[in-house]
């Protein structure tokens, strides 16, 4: 196996308070960002409405396209440019009291744009429609999926190791979800089904890192009775450091490939995955296992496994 470090002996546990302080700062930044932006941005998957992906023959500015939309009477329409300036994603919120269907709305928008921009008419390459009632149900189910996932992970890690490791793993996962939401808020990424899928993927990835370290801690505790749990945890993190970094780097490179070469619909997914991989690696090393060490320091266990 490729070894990035020959005999690593970094003092991760000794510096855990710096990591705890840094994570606290990230949490504060997340809360401030969400409050400042008056909550997260939800896409049409959750709010209900219509999403159009428009392709123009030649590049067009956002202001020029917004000017074309100005007199359409579509309420709060958001315009997002990607690619070389000729591709746009336009989102419309569901209009209260409107009898016009989403299909009719999209057809009218494209027809009027083609009439208004005769020298550079757009083509409709994608359309998504979600009713407001379905959007609320998806919002509820997405939150429930994340909560149930954390509970099941707590149960699994507790059974496989012990309650301390299970609790620490879940706290690390909660940290990852929280900081990722902060990233989503700061970057003004809309919460959609792919973004929820990214968060659930990160939860699974992060817990895998925690389990690898926890398993090595269990093995090392069986080999020695002289070292303290803090020393064993620090040694175990160092032993798995190369594996953790290489795995994270591989996932990160795949996510970056999607970000650079993927279609517009998957770019936000790739952004969240890229950031989440970094935070998942950080939390496994500096949050999860160090929390167990801190717990052992304050409330020493009565028996060894």
Residue 218: its pLDDT value, please? 87
Domains and CATH numbers, the chain: 13-42+134-298 (1.20.1640.10), 49-130 (3.30.70.3400)
The answer to whether 183 and 275 have CB atoms below 8 angstroms apart is yes
Nearest CA among 74, 50, 80 for reference residue 62: 80
Q: What is the pLDDT of residues 94-122, one digit of tens each?
A: 555 555 666 676 777 778 777 777 788 88
**Cα(133)–Cα(140) distance, integer angstroms:** 11
d(CA 191, CA 267): 13
For residue 144, give both structure tokens: 């429930």
- pTM of the predicted structure, to 2 decimals: 0.78
Residue 25 is predicted with a pLDDT of: 96
C-alpha span between 284 and 206 (Å, rounded):
7
Question: What local confidence, expressed as pLDDT, does residue 305 receive?
Answer: 44
pLDDT tens digits for range 134-165? 667 777 887 888 788 778 887 888 888 788 88
Q: Are 279 and 176 in contact, with CB atoms under 8 Å apart?
A: yes
DSSP 8: -
Cβ contact 203:153 at 8 Å: yes
Closest to 93 measured CA to CA, from 225, 190, 15: 190
The 3-state secondary structure of 30-70 reads HHHHHHHCCCCCECHHHHCEEEEEEEECCCCCHHHHHHHHC
* pLDDT tens track, the chain, 305 positions: 556 667 788 899 999 999 999 999 999 999 999 999 988 888 777 777 778 888 888 888 877 777 777 766 655 567 777 766 688 888 776 555 555 666 676 777 778 777 777 788 888 888 877 666 666 777 788 788 878 877 888 788 888 878 888 888 889 989 999 999 999 999 989 888 888 889 888 888 888 888 889 889 988 888 877 888 889 999 999 999 988 898 899 999 999 998 888 776 688 899 999 999 999 999 999 999 899 999 988 888 764 44
Query: For 76, what's the count of Cα atoms within 13 Å in the CB-facing half-sphere?
Result: 10
Residue 287: its pLDDT value, please?
Answer: 93
């Amino acid at each position: 196996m490729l070894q990035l470090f020959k005999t690593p002996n970094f003092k991760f546990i000794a510096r855990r308070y710096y990591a705890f302080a840094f994570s606290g700062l990230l949490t504060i930044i997340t809360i401030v960002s969400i409050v400042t932006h008056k909550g997260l941005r939800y896409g049409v998957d959750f709010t209900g409405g219509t999403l159009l992906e428009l392709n123009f023959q030649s590049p067009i500015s956002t202001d020029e396209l917004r000017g074309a939309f100005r007199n359409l009477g579509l309420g709060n329409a958001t315009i997002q440019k990607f690619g070389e300036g000729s591709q746009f994603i336009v989102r419309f919120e569901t209009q209260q009291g409107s009898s016009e269907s989403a299909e009719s709305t999209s057809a009218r928008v494209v027809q009027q744009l083609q009439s208004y921009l005769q020298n550079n008419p757009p083509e409709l390459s994608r359309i998504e429609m979600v009713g407001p009632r379905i959007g609320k149900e998806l919002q509820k189910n997405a939150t429930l999926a994340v909560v149930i996932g954390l509970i099941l992970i707590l149960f699994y890690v507790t059974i496989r190791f012990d309650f301390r490791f299970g609790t620490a793993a879940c706290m690390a996962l909660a940290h990852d979800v929280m900081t990722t939401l902060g990233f989503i808020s700061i970057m003004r990424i809309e919460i959609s089904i792919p973004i929820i899928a990214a968060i659930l993927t990160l939860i699974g990835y992060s817990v895998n890192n925690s389990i690898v370290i926890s398993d090595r801690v269990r093995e090392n505790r069986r080999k020695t009775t002289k070292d303290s749990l803090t020393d064993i945890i620090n040694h175990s993190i160092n032993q798995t450091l190369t594996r953790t970094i290489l795995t994270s780097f591989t996932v990160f490179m795949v996510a970056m490939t999607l970000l650079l070469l993927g279609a517009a619909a998957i770019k936000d997914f790739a952004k969240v995955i890229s950031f989440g991989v970094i935070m998942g690696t950080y939390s496994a090393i500096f949050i999860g296992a160090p929390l167990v060490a801190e717990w052992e320091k304050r409330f020493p266990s009565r028996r060894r496994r």
